[in-house]
Structure 1
Amino acid sequence: MVKNLGLSFNKLHGGDDRPRRRSVGQESKLVLIHTINQDFHAAVCGHALENRGHRVVRWLGEDYPGSASSSLHFSEGERLDVLHTRHGAVSSGEIDVVWYRRRRAALAPDYLDADDMGFAENELRAAESAHADGFERAFWINRRAAASISDIKPNQLRAAQDSGLEIPPTLISNDPCEIRDFIGRHSSTIYKPLTGHIWGDDGCVRKTYTAAVTLQDLPEDRYLRATPGIFQRKMDKAFEVRAQFFGSVCLAVRIESNSLRGGDVDWRLDQRSITRCAPIDVPLSIQDACRKLMGKLGLVSGGVDFIVSPDGNWCFLEINEAGQFLFIESWCEELKVLEAFCQFVESGEVDLGNVQSSQHIGLEQAIQSARVSGLLRAQ
């Protein structure tokens, strides 16, 4: 039992209370990454941070509660939160940065009685969620509450409108009459799900993507009522843009989606055929609007997707607060995305300024090094 929370975490657990060694000319950070096994971005970026002299602790969703545990201590006006992971133990007072990269809802162990599993899962999830406030002094990318808010697509669209960004004419509904009326009023319409989903049948994996939809494509009314969806006017486009924001820094590529199979509605269907993209300067007015959007959603980082029309209008599609971003550098080597992310973590500030040149390892070296270290499966 902890009797004196004024003691450091290391003393409480019988460890060395001396300060951690810091790299020459650089402040060492302790970075906590919420992630899952074989998460490419967490593995590569975390390993790159370790190579820069930082300590990285990974909270793997699959490990909790089997080999990972959490404790919250309260006593005499003080409190201490502790996580025990396969990579070591950390306390709330030690952590400098939390990267809320990937999350997995805790599952009750299968050795419990079936009648008790629901109760156990509720308890596990409640305890884990409490750490969002416990690590309040850390710099979060992004905070749990902000991530949850921004994952709801209608919230994004409201905030985008309020921030001065153009969005497509949109209907979000499960009302069959309104859906049919909306599609009938537009020459071309697309459908998006409110949330992503993956089906696994007979060894085949199916995912949700954006799709063109006509009145003839619609199912019976009862199915429309059962599954609300996002319906939007299909916008004319010259090309698309993915803009990655790390605080004030914006790195963007131009995606020639019209040349891709299925790219007229969703370039992700044929993204494996993309080998090269040109960098693009996002207009300052659009950058400012994106930062305003992120501020409204409480985000410090996110990937923003745009359609750019033949007459040069930028139309907002969505922001992904925990989306992939290293592919930008793999398609456009001029954009040092990994370096920008590492500097963002090291600064612990939204106003990062310009990305500085560096002698640290690049993306390809970081990938290979992560594989050698066993963080990624060898290909």
Structure 2
Amino acid sequence: MKVLIPTQSHDVHAKAVASALATKGHEAVLWYASDLPTQQTLSLSYKGSSEAQLELQGVDINHHGAFDVVWLRRPASPVLPSTMHPGDHTFAVQEWRSVLEGVWDTLSRTGFWINPRSAARRAESKPAQLAAARRVGLDVPPTLLSNDPQRIRSFIRANEPTQTIYKPFATSQWDLGDGAAAYLFTAVVDEDALPSDEILRLTPGIFQPRLAKDHELRVTFMGDHVFVAKIGSQAVDGAEVDWRIKTRSVATEVGVLPAGVEAACRALMRTFGLVFACFDFIVTPENNHVFLEVNQMGQFLWLEELAPEMPLLDAFCELLIQGRPDFQWRAPRPNEGLRFKDFCDEAVHTAIDERHVDRPHVFLLPDEPRGDAAA
């Protein structure tokens, strides 16, 4: 069995999964598309009536043929030389986008995908998530998606005395220089904290009432199997609004998901065509389970680090090996089966490899305006 894992060179979790699969006698091909075109070549050939053949040649990769399974982990784009003429650069970007679309379309016709590319695209949309969650019966908080300053201010006033939280549509960072970065997390906002209307209207945001929390849940679906992690976000200063700020400090243990909520989650996955997904819920003091979002390719092995009784690596490898959502799996006994701790150190050690072209970080803008931006 051969698994293709499109990802980034510093992806510790992908490296751990690849090593774990190797111990089971299966081959995993880590594809760092950011190595294209300077460190890697790609060919797609058609001959006679046979299926198209994909060939990848470069640092740590020498592949020709088909794959049984594609784990669409963290696909990257080619990184072109900065010295290219601007017009040539634009042309090359268009050409690479076209050929990679053809590669994905060709690969998608065979094998088992986690997740199917079309499903992944649909599920990445926050508006689509909220609409679908409401349709399947999940409890969704009142939500405003807007760049209209008046609508935003009215929404905040209508929530009073309850506070309002702001969330971005995508994880973002600002480059502060000297290796430092500022990250954008979920935050409490009020009218006094808002910028001027001219600035507020420049980008849309997600606004919701701040809900009282007893705890939170991170629910990971792998085909027919589900893992529920209870996250004690309210017991740690700084984690109350967004536990990601203090992930390592927050108590994490096996949790419980009501049967009706689980059934609604499975209906949402069917709506999008997903075979893997991570759901986030608030559990209120009244034990209401409020849907926040679903991440079709969320991180999950960190849960096993914090709660070793959850054998997520073992289950996920079986999903890949068997290549079907109804894969057969039984939780191994303690200290048996594939454990993330047994592969983590090696994966971390090899995460920084200067032979590969690193995928550019998603920085929005330098913290200080430069050039025309200053005007």
- TM-score, normalisation: structure 1: 0.86
Unmatched runs of 5 consecutive residues or more in structure 1: 1-28
Cα deviation, residue 201, structure 1: 1.3
Alignment of 1:95-134 (within 5 A): 95-134=67-106
1: CA distance, partners of 2:329 / 2:158: 46
Match of 2:17 in 1: 45
Match of 2:127 in 1: 154
- Contact 1:252/1:280, CA 8 A, preserved across alignment: yes
2: CA distance, partners of 1:74 / 1:90: 16
Cα deviation, residue 341, structure 1: 0.6
Q: Does 1:250 align with 2:226?
A: yes
Taking structure 1 as reference, are residues 346 and 98 closer, same or farther at Cα in structure 2, changes over 3 Å only? same
Alignment of 1:1-379 (within 5 A): 29-85=1-57, 86-91=59-64, 94-135=66-107, 136-186=109-159, 187-203=162-178, 204-274=180-250, 276-357=251-332, 359-370=336-347, 374=350
Taking structure 1 as reference, are residues 361 and 78 closer, same or farther at Cα in structure 2, changes over 3 Å only? closer
1: CA distance, partners of 2:104 / 2:273: 14
Give the AA of the match of 1:46: A
2: CA distance, partners of 1:234 / 1:112: 48
Taking structure 1 as reference, are residues 144 and 69 closer, same or farther at Cα in structure 2, changes over 3 Å only? farther
Per-residue displacement from partner, 1:215-239 (whole Å, max 9, x unpaired)?
1111111112111000001111110
1: CA distance, partners of 2:329 / 2:264: 19
Taking structure 1 as reference, are residues 257 and 179 closer, same or farther at Cα in structure 2, changes over 3 Å only? same
2: CA distance, partners of 1:287 / 1:319: 13
Cα deviation, residue 353, structure 1: 4.7
Cα deviation, residue 107, structure 1: 2.8
Cα deviation, residue 78, structure 1: 4.1
- Contact 1:57/1:87, CA 8 A, preserved across alignment: no
2: CA distance, partners of 1:371 / 1:312: 38
Aligned length: 346
2: CA distance, partners of 1:315 / 1:179: 22
Per-residue displacement from partner, 1:263-285 (whole Å, max 9, x unpaired)?
221011111223x4220121221
Cα deviation, residue 76, structure 1: 4.6
Taking structure 1 as reference, are residues 199 and 371 closer, same or farther at Cα in structure 2, changes over 3 Å only? closer
Per-residue displacement from partner, 1:280-318 (whole Å, max 9, x unpaired)?
121221111111111212211111100001111100101
- Contact 1:80/1:91, CA 8 A, preserved across alignment: no
- Contact 1:31/1:98, CA 8 A, preserved across alignment: yes
2: CA distance, partners of 1:193 / 1:115: 33
2: CA distance, partners of 1:290 / 1:213: 30
| Secondary structure of the corresponding residue to residue 56 of structure 1 | strand
RMSD of aligned residue pairs (Cα, Å): 1.9
Cα deviation, residue 188, structure 1: 1.2
- Contact 1:150/1:297, CA 8 A, preserved across alignment: yes
Match of 1:8 in 2: none
Cα deviation, residue 356, structure 1: 4.4
- Greater relative CO, 1 or 2 (CA 8 Å, sep 6+): 2
1: CA distance, partners of 2:224 / 2:158: 40
| Secondary structure of the corresponding residue to residue 226 of structure 2 | strand
Cα deviation, residue 371, structure 1: 5.1
Unmatched runs of 5 consecutive residues or more in structure 2: 354-375
| Secondary structure of the corresponding residue to residue 169 of structure 2 | coil
1: CA distance, partners of 2:288 / 2:329: 27
- TM-score, normalisation: structure 2: 0.87
Per-residue displacement from partner, 1:44-67 (whole Å, max 9, x unpaired)?
111111111111111103211222
Give the AA of the match of 1:342: C
| Secondary structure of the corresponding residue to residue 168 of structure 1 | coil
Cα deviation, residue 120, structure 1: 0.1
| Secondary structure of the corresponding residue to residue 20 of structure 2 | helix
